[in-house]
Structure 1
Amino acid sequence: MIRKLTLLLICFKGYIDLMSIWMPKLDGRRGAKYQQLVEALAEDIASGRLPPGARLPPYRELAYRLGMSAQTVSRAYAQATRRGLLRGETGRGTFVIDPSRQAASVAPASLARETSGPIDLSRNLPSPSRADGPLRDILREIGATADLRMFLDYQSGDGEGPTHAAAARRWLQECGLDTRAGEVIGTCGAQHGLFCALTGLLSPGDLMLSEALGYAPVRVIAERLALRALPVEIDAEGVCPESLERLCRDRPVRLLYLTATLQSPTTSTMSDERRRRIAEIARRHDMLILEDDVFGRLKDDRPLPIACFAPERTIYVTSLSKSVAPGLRIGFLHAPDALADAVRRAVVLSVWMTPPLMSEIAARLIESGMALRLLLDQRATAQRRQTLARQILGRFDLNADPQGLHAWLRLPDGWNAGSFRAAAEARGVLVSDARDFAAPGVVAPVAARLSLGHEASDARLETGLTRLADLLSQPPRSDALFL
């Protein structure tokens, strides 16, 4: 009798476990099925629905309940593990990781330049900088400074001493801007500059426009600031003046965000004439322009910034991260007098000041001319890798700029973005597809962005591009189209 009760209890516990199995909410999600599953998993972990230490169902069991293939769920678990969301324990199962314990170890490794494993063409970073020698010299010089305490003390509210401000102005002048004292603001990178511009100049409910395909974090910032956002159509040069005019005519628009040079993901660069037209529309409709020129210095024959055509209403943002060294988290923002104070207050609100030691390193690199030499190294590497990409993928529909960090690959008939991304990953190559950049409501083209700078060696890049070329030379598998 006791044995029968024990068996009943075991069966009842199994039934309860089965009924309480985690079931992701996938309705309304876009993308490959395994990606939908990963995003649902990330959201449930963030919301607490899946607490740290929670055990996930075996992937075959979850696949059965979701009506998916076991391979799809297994791929989702593997992707979530790489993202630092899960951990697998042999013989025990798969568990949710405690973010507080993993933050220190996962975050730095997530951008590591691996020499083995998947070839990463998804991260749009410049090549590893050869700044170790100059940095060593600069640190030695700083170490000989009489009073080092100033680098560990609070600075003025904007964090810009005379030397740092002069270096910032010099860099912006080399970008093509005519700068004046009070118009230049130091930031902790370009993304921080974009955040401060939107925080300082816009109010909840204001309407901003951004490219239909573009830098996704800006849309996330807009959402967090309770801004309304609409996409503006783009073509081979970037923002379409006709689409912009139509949107501005139908409603009051506070700000347009765009990347005019080496736009990501499309690689487009606006002509002088297009920039003039955008400036004229902005002036006619009393609209601000937030110009992201983080890639601008990579292109030596670039047109003048839009800020030169509409200086009274353009906030220009750039940094050293894409063009000199990615770990140098120093950016420069240029704003007209009427707008600069509001943006400067946003910098103070968010970080108080840019780190004095980092600002000092950046200033010395600029003033010594070493920043320019490192920039030229980045250009040379970009040109070499773009040549490699054209040699391997040139027979396909590949858009690229010889000096850019990325290429835009339109996929042959028969592929969709999700199937290509999954098939590439199965061959050990990570790419980003157009859906990663599409604004809400925008139908993404069937295309992928290939970032050429992240991999440390040309050899690994060549291997990755060759695998993609081999993949595109074959018709897609029918089962892959449903991933």
Structure 2
Amino acid sequence: MSAWIPSIEGALGTRAQAIVDAIGADIGAGRLQAGDRLPPQRDLAEALGLSPNTVMRAYSEATRRGYVVGEVGRGTYVRPADAVPQGNPVALARRLDGPVDLSRGLPFVGAAGDALSATLTEIVRSGDLSALLDHGETWGRHADAGALLLRGLGQAAEAESIVLVNGAQQGISATLLALLRPGDTLLTEQLTYAPLKALAAHLGVRIHALAMDDEGILPDSLEAACRSAAPKLLYCTPTLQTPTTATMSEGRRERIARIAAAHDLVIVEDDVFGCLPESRPLPLAAFAPEHTVLITSVSKSMAPGLRVGYVHAPDRLLPAISAAVAVSSWMSPPLMAEIASRWIEDGTAARLNEAQRSHAARRQDMARELLSGHVHHAQRQGPHVWLVLPEYWTARAFATAAERSGVLVNPAEAFATVTAVPAAVRLCLSHESSDERVRQGLTIVAALLDAPADDHTLTI
């Protein structure tokens, strides 16, 4: 084969991660075959305009994942297909060494393990466990628990309007699959949840970006798009928006809801962070109940590994969404749903959620201290920071410089649905296990911001 050069422009995460992901994707697609030799590290670094160390880290990680094997004196080769693991099961691992990872939004686990131990003991003592291995024998009760959770967010909800999913991301995927067709137009923020772009590409739908301010979507931009683009759906995150941390005011939500109703536009409201703020406006769904699909989950508020989510939708949309969930996974595992339901009912969910708030507030205080003097947007009980860079930095250059200094961050390109990308990066404060490592990472970020402009290479 000719020399392999991956396409990593616009990829999520660091350049090293993008190279590793490209290797895995190209193996899966057949563009890289067993026995193919990858370019020497220096050659690939030169072709991509990166440092050799970045490519070295990428090859090392690809080797660890089992994609490739290095042979001393001969180079790096693709392993046989049957030896390559599918997917990346360790992508979200919390490491205790290596670069400080401020690029991933994984919540902390906290006391959820102790709660799980007690709950599993109660489940065992409750008697017959066969229902937890069957197809939805207790499904109505789990939908009741989901409705209870949503009512705590201010949404009038009944079990009959809820579909259980394996986390909010499956809820989003299933909703888009159910309600969009190839060629349709999907509206979203100029900066949005990064996987949404990949979902849109897989479904063959067009993304139309909406202008934003510090509250999120501008109503005038939404009105103009509804008149000119014939959109089918609007996807947005009104509370603790990813990546900007913006939260829409109640007045803004009312205006967005009125516009959607006037144009018969369906809103897909991602409320995955909705449980975190102690005080927040009502969901968009409360203002446009017949035009809004409200999606949330327990992973951000209770424990990241508890993959239980809830989709609340109008009656006219429920059958299609339910069918899309069945096509993709049939159902949520009853044991997971049972744990989430018990926690919602007995108050454990509220206690774990409060612990997430306290954890976020402590780390946000740290960020405010260490980033003092630099423009950044955050909410005290939110998990991430949107850092606006000095004019001599681009987002890509800063992310690369941070990686070279031992910190992983997400550049604005990862979230952008427009070509004019702001000079900003997202810093996730919840993924790292120790406060000490977060402080170390933020200290490095602050040092990069404080360094004189002529100390930086601006064309990375």
State the TM-score, normalized to the length of structure 2. Answer: 0.92
Is residue 2:443 matched to residue 1:466? Answer: yes
What is the CA deviation profile of residues 240-294 of structure 1, one whole-angstrom value per residue up to 9, with x for unaligned ones? Answer: 1111111111132211000000001100000000000000100111100000000
Q: 1:34 to 1:325 in 2, by over 3 A?
A: closer
Per-residue deviation at 1:180? 2.2
How far residue 167 of structure 1 moved from its aligned partner, in angstroms, is: 1.1
Change (3 A) 1:112 1:432: same
User: Is the CA contact (8 Å cut-off) linking 1:182 and 1:340 kept in structure 2?
Assistant: no
Indicate conservation of the 8 Å contact 1:37/1:73, yes or no.
Answer: no
Please state how far the C-alpha of 1:334 moved relative to its aligned partner.
0.6
Whether the 8 Å contact between 2:44 and 2:55 is mirrored in structure 1 is no
Q: What residue identity is the alignment partner of 1:317?
A: I
Any conservation in 2 of the 1:212–1:442 contact (CA below 8 Å)? no
1:135/1:54 CA distance change after superposition, 3 Å: same
Task: Give the deviation of 1:205 after TM superposition.
Answer: 2.4
Give the equivalent residue in structure 2 for 1:52. 34
Alpha carbons 1:38, 1:76 under 8 Å: kept? no
> Aligned equivalents of 2:178 and 2:147: distance in 1?
21
The aligned counterpart of 2:51 is 72
Task: State the Cα deviation string for residues 431-456 of structure 1 (Å, max 9, x = none).
Answer: 001000001x4311010000000000
The more displaced of 36-45 and 78-87 is 36-45
Residue 454 of structure 1 corresponds to 431
Q: CA–CA distance in 2 between the matches of 1:418 and 1:341?
A: 43
Aligned pair partner of 2:372 in 394, 405, 408: 394
Question: What's the CA shift string for 1:459-482, capped at 9, x where partnerless?
Answer: 110111011111211135667322
| Displacement after TM superposition at 1:228 (Å) | 2.4
Do the aligned partners of 2:4 and 2:39 also contact (CA within 8 Å) in 1?
Answer: no
> What's 1:328 paired with?
306
Q: Could you say if the C-alpha distance between residues 30 and 138 of structure 1 is closer, same or farther in structure 2, counting changes exceeding 3 Å? A: closer
One-letter code of the match for 2:391?
D
Which blocks of at least 5 consecutive residues in structure 2 are unaligned? none
Report how far residue 419 of structure 1 moved. Answer: 1.6
Larger radius of gyration: 1
Structure 1 spans left out of the alignment, 5+ residues:
1-19
1:81–1:87 contact (8 Å) kept in structure 2: no
Question: 1:179, 1:76 → 2: CA distance?
Answer: 50
The whole-number CA distance in structure 1 between the counterparts of 2:59 and 2:150 is 41
- Note if 1:153 corresponds to 2:134: yes
The aligned residue for residue 389 of structure 2 is 411
The answer to whether structure 1 residue 259 and structure 2 residue 259 are counterparts is no
Question: What residue identity is the alignment partner of 1:460?
Answer: R
The one-letter amino acid of 1:358's match is: M
Q: Which residue of 2 aligns with 1:283?
A: 261
After alignment, is 281-290 or 468-477 more displaced? 468-477
Structure 1 CA distance, aligned partners of 2:149 and 2:203?
Answer: 30
SS at match of 1:95: strand
Q: Which residue of 2 aligns with 1:94?
A: 76
> With structure 1 as the length reference, what TM-score do the two structures score?
0.88
- Separation in structure 1 between the aligned mates of residue 182 and residue 197 of structure 2, nearest angstrom: 14
Deviation at 1:412, TM superposition (A): 0.9
- Go from structure 1 to structure 2 and tell me whether the alpha carbon gap of 1:350 and 1:446 turns closer, same or farther (over 3 Å shift): same
Query: 1:95: how far off?
Result: 2.6
The match for 1:117 among 88, 98, 102 is 98
- 1:73-111 Cα deviation digits (max 9, x unpaired): 44124235435444444444223355753537x733221
SS where residue 107 of structure 1 aligns? coil
Q: Are residues 25 and 330 of structure 1, via their aligned partners in 2, closer, same or farther at CA, if it must alter by over 3 Å?
A: closer
Match for 2:221 among 240, 243, 248? 243
Alpha-carbon shift at residue 221 of structure 1 (Å): 1.6
Q: Displacement of 1:22 after TM fit?
A: 1.4
Q: Tell me how far apart the structure 1 counterparts of residues 293 and 232 of structure 2 sit (CA, whole Å).
A: 13
| d(CA) in 2 for partners of 1:100, 1:234 | 47
The 3-state SS of whatever aligns with 1:449 is: strand
Q: Which moved more, 1:269-278 or 1:467-476?
A: 467-476
Preserved contact between residue 360 and residue 383 of structure 2 (Cα < 8 Å):
yes
Residue 208 of structure 2 is aligned with which of 225, 230, 241? 230
Equivalent-residue separation in structure 1 for 2:272 and 2:133 (angstroms):
28
- Post-superposition Cα deviations, 1:30-61, rounded to whole Å, max 9, x if no partner, equal 58987886676555434322223422232234
- Supply the distance in 1 between the matched residues of 2:80 and 2:254 (Cα, whole angstroms): 51
Identical-pair percentage: 44
Mapped contact 2:243–2:426 kept (Cα < 8 A): yes
Shift of 1:25: 6.1
Match for residue 339 of structure 2? 361
Pair 1:411–1:140, CA change in 2 (3 A): same
Contact 1:34 1:72 in 2 (8 A): no
Shift of 1:130: 1.4
After the TM superposition, which residues 34-53 of structure 1 pair with which residues of structure 2 at under 5 Å, given as runs?
41=23, 43-53=25-35
1:13 alignment partner in structure 2: none
8 Å CA contact 1:209–1:255 kept in 2: the answer is yes
Number of matched residues? 455
Q: Is the 8 A contact 1:419 1:481 kept in 2?
A: yes
